[in-house]
Amino acid sequence: MSSRLLLTKLTRGLLTVWLIVTLTFLALNLSGDPIEALVGDQATAEVIAHYREKFGLDRPLWRQYISYVAGIAQGDFGLSLSDQRPAIELIAAALPRTLRLGLTAFVLGLILGVGLGIVAALNRNKPVDRFVMSFAVLGFSLPNFFLGIMLILLFSLHWRMLPSAGDATIWHLILPAVTLGTHFAGTFARFTRSAMLEVLNKQYVVAARAKGVPRPRRVLWHALPNAAIPIVTIIGLKLGDLVAGSIIVETVFAVPGVGRLLVNAVTSRDFALVQAILIMTSITMVLANLAVDAVYALIDPRMRAARSES
């Protein structure tokens, strides 16, 4: 990908983040007085004035906006209203758990999904294919909160094999990662299957076969890289699902990650913390999509050539 296109994408991404920042600022100011919600209606005027000053709400709106944007640019997302600690600290404390769970689930889903998709494509219309595709449909139509509860019911409560809540050990990771990963495995299996079927009939694969290239090498070396392009597209499209999914799965399995932090913040209507998580997520999403675009260019030489010409 040409650097110019990358720059355009980056600018668009930054614009999106800035819009989200501005919209949350507007929302924060439209939603009424957060101080009253915090101290209750029994508080004296002095107490309210003190908190106004503490959160910087006594200044004119445009000054608040400028310092808000400047603060975010420096990583200062303000104080959590219910906790009174910097929102960024709370997020930083929860983030490693979310990343560990999300990455494990994603890699699990990717490996399982791509593997199953290849197997299905190679055994097209045979029982193996039907079995894999049934699993795929099951995987992405099972809502993750229901799958999580069924897994808890079976593996934690009935067979007592795995813990159902928390994230103290590696064993705690298994059920939530499987819950979150199943959805991706289902999606990736479907897309890999159809991408592989598309490629397996191409002349270069047939030619490789005629040349006597052994089947594993033909599939993994000649077909799979060409099938990877639609798969990478799906990865980019599924990142949002990963974020949304981890909110649910962290709640089901009581993992103290960012998702749970967000749910708790919404429950206690701590909008300062909610907007911090919102903005952080949008930045992450923009960066992740850029990374997907970069991978795109890396695996598809045609993309590089075509785009630098235009």
Partner 1 sequence: MAMSRLFSRSDDAPVRAEARYPALVVVSLVVLGLILAIFVFADWLAPYDYRTQSLLKRLKPPAFLGGMPEHLLGTDELGRDILSRLIYAIRFSVLVALGGTMIGALIGTVLGFIAAHFRGLAEEAIMMLADVQASLPFMMIALALIALFGGGFFLFVAIMGFYGWEVFARLTRGVVIAANTQGYATAVTALGAPARHVYLRHVLPNILSVLIVQFTLNFPQVILLETSLSFLGLGIRPPLTSLGQMLGAGRAYLTSAWWIAVLPGIAIFLTTMSISILGDWIRDRLDPTLQSR
* CB of 65 or CB of 145, closer to partner 1: 145
Which of left, alpha, beta for 35 (phi over 0: left; psi -120 to 50: alpha)?
A: alpha
Least Å distance between CB 214 and partner 1?
26
CB of 239 to partner 1, least distance (A): 8
Radius of gyration of the chain (CA): 24
Handedness of CA 120, 124, 126, 131 (dihedral sign): positive
Nearer Cβ to partner 1 (250/300): 250
Report the half-sphere exposure of 222 (CA within 13 A, side-chain side).
22
Residue 178 CB, nearest distance to partner 1 (Å)?
Answer: 17
Q: Which residues pair with 79 in a beta bridge?
A: 86
Q: How far is the CB of 126 from partner 1 (least distance, A)?
A: 14
Q: From the CB of residue 84, how many other CB atoms can be counted at a distance below 10 Å?
A: 12
CB 10 within 8 A of CB 303: no
For the CB of residue 209, give the shortest distance to partner 1 in the complex, in Å: 19
Q: Which residues have C-beta within 8 Å of that of residue 306, sequence separation ≥ 6?
A: none
Distances from the Cα of 221 to the Cαs of 218, 225, 227, in angstroms? 5, 7, 11
| Complex with partner 1: residue 137 or 306, whichever CB lies closer | 137
Minimum distance from residue 133 beta carbon to partner 1 (Å): 10
Report the residue number, 17 or 49, with the smaller CB distance to partner 1. 17
Nearest distance in Å: CB 309, partner 1: 26
Closest of 110, 142, 140, 115 to residue 236, by C-alpha? 110
Q: Which pairs from 25-33 meet CB under 8 Å and 24+ separation?
A: 25/64, 25/65, 25/68, 25/69, 27/271, 27/275, 28/271, 28/272, 28/275, 29/61, 29/64, 31/271, 33/57
Closest approach of partner 1 to the CB of residue 27, in Å: 5
Exposed/middle/buried for residue 261 (C-beta within 10 Å: 0-12, 13-18, 19+): buried
If the CB atoms of residues 13 and 115 are measured against partner 1, the closer one turns out to be 13
Interface residues with partner 1 (CB under 8 A) are: 12-13, 15-16, 19-20, 23-24, 27, 30-31, 137-138, 140-143, 145-146, 149-150, 152-153, 157, 194, 197, 240-241, 243-244, 247-248, 251-252, 262-263, 265-267, 269-271, 274-275, 277-278, 281-282, 285-286
Q: What angle do CA 247, 294, 105 make, to 5 degrees?
A: 30
**Closer of 290 and 297 to partner 1 (Cβ):** 290
Q: Residue 199 class from Cβ within 10 Å (0-12 exposed, 13-18 middle, 19+ buried)?
A: buried
Q: Which is nearer to partner 1, 291 or 305 (CB)?
A: 291
Compare residues 56 and 236 and give the one whose CB is closer to partner 1. Answer: 236
Extract the tokens encoding 285: 């999403």
